[in-house]
Amino acid sequence: MRIRRSEQFLGHLLLVVGALLALLPFLSIVLLALTPPGERTGGGGLPSSLTLENFATAWTRGGFGQALWSSLVVAVAVVLGASLVSVLAGYAFSTMRFPGRFVLLGILLVGLVMPYEGIIVPLYYLLEGMGLLNTYWALILPQIATSVSLGVLWMRTAYANVPRSLGEAASIDGAGRWATLWRVYVPVSAPAIATLGTLLFLYTWNEFLMALVLVPQNPDVQTAPLALSFFAGSTRNFDPSVTAAAAVIVALPILVVYAIFQRRFITGVVAGAVKE
């Protein structure tokens, strides 16, 4: 490889600058959150001392314990629900012949590009009619529906990579369809299912518009991004360092999960995107 040193250097320099720019905005609010209340560093220079006081204030005033719990409940329910129905439907699309296969697949594809903004108004009245507004269900049920397109297509591809012979061997051993799914297809596709779950978790955790529209009046079920938005918008919190602390509190869980599973996150987003 006859690559000049300057080219090596420039490539790395670009990456370092890019990484700094990617982290700087978040790091600057971390710093702001650690700044003693009332002290203004103006973003330049370091604060005279560091404090966790803002975090305590934000935590008690914003009710973020409850909000993070709600986010977790909704995200876990959506991940489990959407994965289960996708595991089943993907199996049918991948291994069975039935009339209407391509039409149904086509209907699912529409969901991949369908913007939520286009359905949020009727969704509100639908859930109001069901008496589910301002409950966890108002966030869980629609988000399972919006995850189905990606989930089913994802599982269909995953099953396509399961060697046919494995499934046939199971059926010779007397396993029916149902048993073959759970004893062969699901275990073999476990990594793909885990990646799908990570991806859906990320999207559900961060969803904002649905929460704003569907659970605006019940603080007990409001997810973390919504609670943060209300907290930052309410005029009693004039101190920007408290708002910054609140933002860090909301960002931290997903950052920790990301730090552990970053490879799965990235391959998931890439594969999920390319599927579209």
Partner 1 sequence: MTTLSPPRPGPARAAGSAPRRRPFLRRYDWDAYLYLVPAFAFYLVFLVRPVVESIWIALFDWDGITASEWVGFDNFAEVLADPQIWQATLHSLVFVVFYALLPTALALVFVGAIARIRVRGLAAFRALLFVPYILSTVVVAISWRWIFAETGPLNTALRAIGLDGLTRTWLGDFTTALPSVGIIGTWVMFGLAFVLFVSGLQNIPAEQFEAARLDGAGPVREFFAVTLPALRGEIQVALVLMITAALRNFDIVWNTTSGGPGTSTTVPSYFIYREAFVTHQVGRASAIAVVLTLLIFAIVGAVMWLTRDRDAAAPRGGTR
Residue 25: CB minimum distance to partner 1, A: 4
Residue 24 CA to residue 44 CA, distance in Å, equals: 13
- Cα distances (Å, whole numbers) of residue 272 to 6, 108, 123, 151, 262: 36, 15, 25, 9, 15
Residue 56: CB minimum distance to partner 1, A: 18
Q: Considering only residues 112-151, where is the footprint of partner 1 by CB under 8 A? A: 113-126, 141-142, 144-146, 148-149, 151
Residue with smaller CB distance to partner 1, 8 or 60: 8
Binder among 52, 171, 191, 256 for partner 1 (CB under 8 A): 171
| Position 44 contacts partner 1 (CB under 8 A) | yes
Residue 219: CB minimum distance to partner 1, A: 16
Residue 160: CB minimum distance to partner 1, A: 16
Q: Considering only residues 200-219, where is the footprint of partner 1 by CB under 8 A? A: 202, 205-206, 208-209, 212-213
On whether the CB atoms of residues 231 and 61 are closer than 8 A, the answer is yes
Binder among 174, 217, 236, 238 for partner 1 (CB under 8 A): 174
Nearby residues of 258 by Cβ (< 8 Å), 6 or more positions away: 265
Nearby residues of 237 by Cβ (< 8 Å), 6 or more positions away: 61, 231, 243
Binder among 139, 152, 184, 200 for partner 1 (CB under 8 A): 152
Residue 102: CB minimum distance to partner 1, A: 13
Residue 29 CA to residue 158 CA, distance in Å, equals: 40
Name the DSSP class of 185: I
Lay out the site mask for partner 1 across 75-94 (x = CB under 8 A, - = otherwise).
Answer: ------x--xxx-xx-xxx-
On whether the CB atoms of residues 159 and 94 are closer than 8 A, the answer is yes
Residue 250: CB minimum distance to partner 1, A: 6
Binder among 67, 77, 139, 228 for partner 1 (CB under 8 A): 228
Residue with smaller CB distance to partner 1, 14 or 52: 14
Helices (H), the chain: 5-34, 53-62, 64-95, 101-113, 120-129, 136-160, 164-172, 177-180, 186-188, 190-206, 209-214, 224-233, 240-275
Residue 242: CB minimum distance to partner 1, A: 11
Size of the site for partner 1 (CB under 8 A): 104
Residue with smaller CB distance to partner 1, 101 or 161: 101
Q: Smallest Cα–Cα separation from 201: which of 144, 160, 126?
A: 144
